[in-house]
């Protein structure tokens, strides 16, 4: 019985935290905010949809890559 519960808990937990997973994989700036919204209001459908929209609309962090040989010191 416990094994069945664990087998059902993992996929449903992953679906529940899908907005957080998407935001983390995209490298968004508001991963913690999306996680908190998902944690506290994700059980409601509206909270989950808002978190999902926020995860897709969140801008990723910018990574500056300079060509080899050019070093900028700030």
Residue range 18-33, pLDDT digits in tens: 999 999 999 888 999 9
pTM: 0.74
Under DSSP, the state recorded for 28 is B
Here the contacts of 39-42 (C-beta below 8 Å, separation 24 or greater) are 42/16, 42/17
Q: Can you give the pLDDT at residue 9?
A: 87
Check: CB of residue 51 under 8 Å from CB of residue 37: yes
């Amino acid at each position: 019985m416990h094994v069945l519960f664990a087998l059902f808990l993992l996929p449903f937990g992953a679906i529940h935290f899908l907005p957080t997973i998407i935001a983390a994989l995209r490298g968004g700036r508001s991963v913690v905010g999306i996680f908190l919204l998902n944690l506290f209001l994700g059980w409601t459908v509206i909270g989950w949809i808002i978190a999902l929209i926020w995860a897709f609309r969140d801008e990723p962090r910018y990574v500056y890559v300079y060509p080899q040989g050019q070093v900028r010191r700030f």
